[in-house]
Amino acid sequence: MPQVRIIAKNFMDMVASLPAIKLDKLYHNPFICEAILRSMPPLAKKYVLQMLYIDVPVTASLLNEWVLPDGASKHRVAVDRLIQLRVFTELVDRKKETTYVLNQMFKMNLREHIINGGEPPRKPMAANITVRLPSLEDLDNYAAQQWECFLLHLINSAEAEVTTKSISPSMMKVFQRGLLSQRDKEGPRLTESGFQFLLMDTNAQLWYIIREYISNSEDRGVDSADLISFLLELSFHVTGEAYNVDTLDDVQRTTVKDLADLGLIKLQQGRKDSWFIPTKLATNLSISLSDASSRKQGYVVVETNFRLYAYSTSKLHCEILRLFARIEYQLPNLIVGSITKENLYQAFQNGITADQASIKYIVSFLQQNAHPRVAERVPSVPENVTDQVPHHLYSND
């Protein structure tokens, strides 16, 4: 799917954008060093591990010999990423030759972690203390339901509807930073970015929200490096295990409550203790966007007459389709509608701009969510539909 301005960076892009002093602060935590290593391109991992016990600078010419000739572009990408993360420091020696050295704190902690391992950031609670924990299947369902409620809140806010789900002020600020806009005496409405956000796949949406959540952390009096550190630590927790809330500091407690809104965390309360249970969304946070993306089973069938059939019981799916299509009727597991000029104009009013790049969001959404019955076809969406969607929007007939 086209991902223009709204594209969410992965965690390492956010880490790389930190000031040098905050980056160096992160590397005092061995688990963060491992998380950084996990995230690197394969060639960057190779360079780090080969240099882990080399205590002198390595010349650029020697580094070039560690890769095959046809890997020159991947080599440049790997070196650039290592420099961005301050894992590599680039120097020029007396002979005016470029050399590289590993960040000393990063190297020391990674060595220690690899050799001796270490205790996880926090230990799970004993089974005799917690009440019955949800199964992994139940936890996946919970995460999906929370995420759907979160997105429905965005749509309903734009439609001035009241929802029963309460969203924390921190998450509401994420909405207000570009997904929703509001003028004097007018209700909130979706922005162009908000419209495009709703048509993105789940992983891209999640990264966008996490990026914005971190970006405005300083406004909440939270150090962005501390927040990133905690979010990365979550990737070392075990999905489905219970962790005592008392092991968290005040900022981390607030964070887990915010993450519960998104379905990354499930909170439970016992007689004396309370605990948080990470879902897969939380434990996979350190994985790159491309690695985390896995094709989910689609649900939409589009016919040549512009009618569409969505095999889904999800209210969210129905509301997203309603943004650009007319919903004609809905059965318990089937949504029937059609793409019309009037609804495309309504989409335009809701924020999408009348240009080819923006129109592709609708087309790509239909392609990425194609039902398995048609997903393997080429094209999965009839050509006359993909050709005529722009025509419908531009024509005056």
> Mapping DSSP to helix (H, G, I), strand (E, B) and coil, where does residue 272 land?
coil
Q: What is the per-residue pLDDT for 129?
A: 83
d(CA 240, CA 265): 10
What kind and span of H or E run contains 243?
A: strand 243-244
> Mapping DSSP to helix (H, G, I), strand (E, B) and coil, where does residue 196 land?
helix
Can you give the three-state secondary structure of 102-168, one letter per residue? ECHHHHHHHHHHHHHCCCCCCCCCCCCCCCCCCCHHHHHHHHHHHHHHHHHHHHHHHCCCCCCCCCC
DSSP state of 325: S
Proportion of the chain above pLDDT 70, given as a percent: 85
pLDDT digits (tens, 9 = 90+) for 324-362: 899 999 999 999 999 988 877 776 665 555 555 557 778
Q: Is the peptide bond before 379 cis (omega within 30 degrees of 0)?
A: yes
Q: What is the per-residue pLDDT for 4?
A: 36
Q: What angle do CA 176, 353, 324 make, to 5 degrees?
A: 85
Domain 11-116 of CATH type 1.10.287? no
d(CA 172, CA 30): 33
pLDDT digits (tens, 9 = 90+) for 31-68: 889 888 988 889 999 999 999 999 999 999 999 999 88
Nearest residue to 4 via CA among 208, 183, 164: 208
pLDDT by position in tens, the chain (length 397): 434 344 435 667 888 888 899 988 899 988 889 888 988 889 999 999 999 999 999 999 999 999 888 889 999 999 999 999 999 999 998 888 999 999 999 999 999 888 887 677 888 998 888 878 999 999 999 998 998 988 988 887 665 444 445 677 777 777 667 788 777 666 677 777 888 888 888 878 888 888 888 888 888 889 988 998 898 888 889 999 999 999 999 999 999 999 999 899 999 988 888 999 999 988 877 664 445 444 567 899 999 999 999 999 999 999 999 988 999 999 999 999 999 888 777 766 655 555 555 577 788 899 989 999 898 888 999 998 888 776 655 555 5
d(CA 208, CA 211): 5
Give the CA dihedral 211, 213, 216, 221, nearest 10 degrees: -130
DSSP β-bridge partners for residue 190: 180
In degrees and rounded to multiples of 5, residue 13 shows phi and psi of -65, -40
Q: What is the per-residue pLDDT for 2?
A: 39
pTM above 0.85, yes or no: no
Question: What residue segments make up the domains of the chain, in order of their start?
Answer: 11-116, 136-291, 300-394
What kind and span of H or E run contains 216?
A: none
